[in-house]
Amino acid sequence: MSFLHFTGARPSISWWTILGQSRVFKEGLIAGFVGAGTVALWFFIVDMERGQPFFTPGALGSALFLGSTDPSTVDVSVATVDGYSILHIGAFFATGFIAAAIAGYAERTRLRSSSVR
């Protein structure tokens, strides 16, 4: 079967292609980018006004990865800021995907219930 799969006339389809065709994936990705970007921009502006660039992600990363409990022990470094930023974006993507899936399910349910009447 593997031989036929790889030598067949049909081009192989990657998982990225399949995900790109999914409405829930696209909407979740967009919602995640918008949400994560909005929150990150807001705290970047607040941190810049306070004269402490990247303090908020550094503080959250320090608390999460280093167990920091005092603002004086916050480590604003590439490791804490980038590490927390990756988790931040991932959490917003997950939330966006869940919201898009719920909205899609609600829309399908509404369409089915209106066609039954």
User: Tens digits of per-residue pLDDT, 44-69?
Assistant: 999 999 999 999 999 999 999 999 99
What confidence tens digit (pLDDT) does each residue in 2-53 have?
Answer: 776 677 666 667 777 777 788 888 888 899 999 999 999 999 999 999 999 9
DSSP E strand stretches across the chain? none
Q: What is the pTM of this model?
A: 0.72
